[in-house]
């Protein structure tokens, strides 16, 4: 999976592209570990994700928990196709903010 990170002040945007699977877990852990305080708002742009598996879903929850533990906000942006379907089936909108 490809990724791009943009941090401006205390706002971070992580843009993901490709397939989000267990193989990407260390990358996500590294991204989250390298956020300098105070990142209080994080948007994960998943508009270019083609596929997500259960491990990818778990990493989204991990990212959300990491940000909210610091009293921040976490938002998923623009799920499409299979990714949107999986998020809908798993009712992710009940546990985090998803914006179209």
> Is the pLDDT score of 74 beyond 90?
yes
- Return the pLDDT at 40: 81
Report H helices in 2-80. Answer: 25-34, 54-68
> Is the pLDDT score of 72 beyond 80?
yes
**Tell me: the pLDDT tens digits for 19-54?**
999 999 999 999 888 876 677 899 999 999 999 999
- CATH number assigned to the domain covering 2-99: 3.30.750.24
Q: Which of 21, 27, 22 is nearest to 4 (CA)?
A: 27
Mean pLDDT within 60-75: 92
Please answer whether residues 76 and 92 qualify as being in contact, where contact means their C-beta atoms are separated by less than 8 angstroms: yes
Please answer whether residues 52 and 90 qualify as being in contact, where contact means their C-beta atoms are separated by less than 8 angstroms: no
Q: Domain extents for the chain?
A: 2-99
């Amino acid at each position: 999976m490809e990724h791009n990170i943009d941090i401006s002040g205390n706002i971070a945007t992580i843009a993901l592209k490709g397939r989000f699977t267990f193989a990407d877990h260390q990358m996500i852990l590294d991204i989250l570990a390298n956020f300098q305080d105070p990142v209080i708002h994080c948007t994960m742009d998943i508009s270019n994700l083609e596929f997500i598996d259960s491990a990818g879903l778990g990493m989204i929850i991990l990212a959300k928990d990491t940000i909210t533990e610091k009293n921040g906000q976490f938002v998923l942006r623009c799920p499409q196709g299979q990714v949107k379907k999986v998020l809908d089936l798993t009712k992710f909108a009940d546990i985090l903010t998803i914006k179209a």
